[in-house]
């Protein structure tokens, strides 16, 4: 809901967002990022984030077992998130200095210092915290990002006690070999790190990168229904890897068959109708392959 919608110029009404959130929550996914606590003049789509969290906190509205997260970029955003009762706070640093300046108005070094202080503050208040390294696999402005720069940021997070870390491919530059190497390098920092991966499909390698990360031991992925999304402050914005496509891929391996792909596809179809455009995902158009077992005997059906 956050990365998926933030780049769309047509504002989605709050009631429609709530309907999508509740249907996605009902599909069996583990987490939903509801929105970001940012300046609405810079990202108008996120202007109702406080209201969404307030409405979702109403008695009987939240689905058990689903975690609602919110993104913050600075201290003011964290204050809003804390006041709104957000249980899981996400914050991050770009490994690209250029992207960092465009996204937050801060250098990577300054942003890292501030995010660590904010993360500690949120932990002290009893919140779950995820810290991310954005542009971890490359940058549309700066090109290749040295792996050492990413590892150094992660090391600082871990030293501060922030061990839930997302590696974000903000510009979609990652390739499977690079993904495997980066995850190996980050794992070497500490055995306590819980890695999440966040890929964009800018150059068509999104699903391949998810597969490479999964084979490297990553079990948490941030994805966007319909393949919506993209950071407004990168050189070439493109959508997230599509939620229903990723779930369908995993279910072909008998992984996470508890998630209802059809429910996610219904949200995607409604979003396509709302925005009056075709969305880049695949499974909402083709439907899933019927599951008959990966090694079923053709003679026995």
| Helix/strand/coil (H/E/C) assignment for every residue in 58-91 | CCCCCCCCCEEEEEECCHHHHHHHHHCCCCEEEE
CATH topology of domain 2-287: TIM Barrel (3.20.20)
What does pLDDT average to over the chain?
Answer: 92
Given a contact cutoff of 8 angstroms between Cβ atoms, the answer to whether 260 and 234 are in contact is no
- For the chain, the domains span 2-287
| Lookup: tokens for 257 | 């068959």
Q: Are strands 128-134 and 164-169 parallel, antiparallel or unpaired?
A: parallel
| Catalytic pick among 139, 197, 231, 265 | 231
Given a contact cutoff of 8 angstroms between Cβ atoms, the answer to whether 131 and 112 are in contact is no
CA distance 189 to 133: 14
| Lookup: tokens for 76 | 């003011």
Please give the helix or strand (H or E) that residue 197 lies within, else none. Answer: strand 194-199
pLDDT digits (tens, 9 = 90+) for 34-88: 999 999 988 999 999 999 999 999 988 888 899 999 999 999 999 999 999 999 9
At residue 231, the pLDDT reads 67
At residue 293, the pLDDT reads 55
Handedness of CA 140, 141, 145, 149 (dihedral sign): negative
Write the secondary structure of 27-61 as one string of H (helix), E (strand) and C (coil).
Answer: CCCCEEEEEEECCCCCCHHHCCHHHHHHHHCCCCC
pLDDT at 134 over 60: yes
Confidence of residue 301 (pLDDT cuts 50, 70, 90): very low
CA distance 176 to 111: 28
pLDDT digits (tens, 9 = 90+) for 233-281: 555 557 899 999 999 999 999 999 999 999 999 999 999 999 999 999 9
231 is known as an active-site residue: yes
What's the first-to-final CA gap in the chain, in angstroms? 40
At residue 236, the pLDDT reads 57
- Residue of 147, 213, 214, 203 whose CA lies nearest to 170: 203
pLDDT digits (tens, 9 = 90+) for 89-121: 999 999 999 888 887 888 899 999 999 999 999
More confident residue, 15 or 142: 15
Confidence of residue 227 (pLDDT cuts 50, 70, 90): very high
Chain-centroid distance, C-alpha 248 = 18
More confident residue, 142 or 22: 22
């Amino acid at each position: 809901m956050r990365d998926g919608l933030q780049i769309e110029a047509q504002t989605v009404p709050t009631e429609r967002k709530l309907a999508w959130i509740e249907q996605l929550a009902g599909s069996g996914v583990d987490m939903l990022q509801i929105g970001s606590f940012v300046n609405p003049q810079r990202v108008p789509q996120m202007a109702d984030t406080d209201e969404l969290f307030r409405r979702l906190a109403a008695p009987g509205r939240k689905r058990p077992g689903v975690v609602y997260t919110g993104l913050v970029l600075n201290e003011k955003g964290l204050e809003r998130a804390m006041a709104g009762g957000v249980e899981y706070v996400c914050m991050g640093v770009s490994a690209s200095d250029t992207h960092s300046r465009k996204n937050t108005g801060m250098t990577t070094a300054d942003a890292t210092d501030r995010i660590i202080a904010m993360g500690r503050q949120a932990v002290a208040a009893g919140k779950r915290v995820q810290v991310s390294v954005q542009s971890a696999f490359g940058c549309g402005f700066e090109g290749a990002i040295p792996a050492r720069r990413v590892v150094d940021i992660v090391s600082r997070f871990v030293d501060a006690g922030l061990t839930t870390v997302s590696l974000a491919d903000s510009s979609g530059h990652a390739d499977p070999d690079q993904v495997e190497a980066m995850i190996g390098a980050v794992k070497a920092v500490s055995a306590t790190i819980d890695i999440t991966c966040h890929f964009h499909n800018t150059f068509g390698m999104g699903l391949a990168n998810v597969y490479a990360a999964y084979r490297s031991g990553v079990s948490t992925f941030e994805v966007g229904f319909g393949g919506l999304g993209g950071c407004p402050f990168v050189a070439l914005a493109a959508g997230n890897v599509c939620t229903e496509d990723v779930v369908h891929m995993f279910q072909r391996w008998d992984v996470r068959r508890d998630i209802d792909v059809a429910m996610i596809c219904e949200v995607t179809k409604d979003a396509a109708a709302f925005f009056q455009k075709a969305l880049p995902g695949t499974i909402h158009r083709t439907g899933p392959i019927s599951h008959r077992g990966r090694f079923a005997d053709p003679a026995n059906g």
